[in-house]
Amino acid sequence: MINRMVIPLLSFKIGLNLVLTTLNQQSQRTMASFQSTKDKFLSMAINEKRTHYKCGENYVQLNQIPKWSEQSKSQTTSATMNVCNKYKPMAEMNDRLSLFNGDITTLEIDAIVNAANQQLAGGGGVDGFIHRAAGYEDLQAECRTLNGCHTGDCKMTGGYRLPAKYIIHCVGPIGEKPDLLASCYQHALDMLRDNQLRSIAFPCISTGIFGYPNENAANIALDTIRKWLENPSNLQSIDRIIFCLFLEKDIDIYNRLIGEYFPLIDK
């Protein structure tokens, strides 16, 4: 009786070990596959990398994006007037901000933020655009090794065929949860600083299908970034934070609100 039980048990253990070994080998092959591609693009000379961009020659360099202090000179909205400001004017902060109306996948900067899902599996909206522009297969191969991401947190991958060097994947909340949305911006900026990167672009996280009201989300984004920049070491660690806006609704909201958080200095 004992022998009859031992043999099937041994067979089961042997089979399980074979399955685990196979999975481990597949994982190692996946890791090696994306890592070599990732390293290739990160070390590639910029002129060579530009030949791989999905956007072709329609990439946008950082020096082509006006700073908030420069953009505001041509505006006459309440954003340019120090009315009902939440914070005092700081020229050094205004020089580190930009509003960009366009495609985040064209920005040739250190990092762009992806509004991701918890599985980091790619999806609709900006998430899908970023995956397609980076190269879906390579980006997903790296994402699968990260074991997902909690809401309010972020994880970083290579940018692959994007003009941006890296992608910071932020998982925003579904519905209006201010603390979790603020956490996305906070963690993304901390990750940028900790990796000695100096430029970043944010989409409007959690709006759209995640259901966060656009204006409320903008207030959270602006307030969180303002508070982060008030730390002198954070301010010195960064060259530019870009709010990447696509919908007319968001363009109008940010143009109206930004002056409350980053007012201009009267001259």
pLDDT (average), residues 22-32: 50
Which residue, among 167, 171, 160, has the nearest Cα to 111 in the 3D structure? 167
Number of DSSP helices (H) and strands (E) in the chain, helices first:
10, 8
Segment 155-164, tens digit of pLDDT: 999 999 999 9
| 262 and 70 Cβ atoms separated by less than 8 Å | no
Q: Which residues pair with 186 in a beta bridge?
A: none
- The confidence band for 86, taking pLDDT boundaries of 50, 70 and 90, is confident
Looking at per-residue pLDDT, the higher value among 15 and 106 belongs to: 106
CA–CA separation, 27 vs 67, rounded Å? 44
Print burial letters for 174-188: b (CB count within 10 Å at least 16), e (below 16): eeebeebbbbbbbbb
Tokens of residue 245, six digits:
């806006």
Tokens of residue 150, six digits:
């909690």
Which residue, among 48, 38, 33, has the nearest Cα to 165 in the 3D structure? 38
Return mean pLDDT, the chain.
Answer: 89
CB atoms within 10 A of CB 260: 19
| pLDDT at residue number 151 | 98
Tokens of residue 249, six digits:
């609704």
CA–CA separation, 30 vs 47, rounded Å? 28
CA–CA separation, 191 vs 114, rounded Å? 14
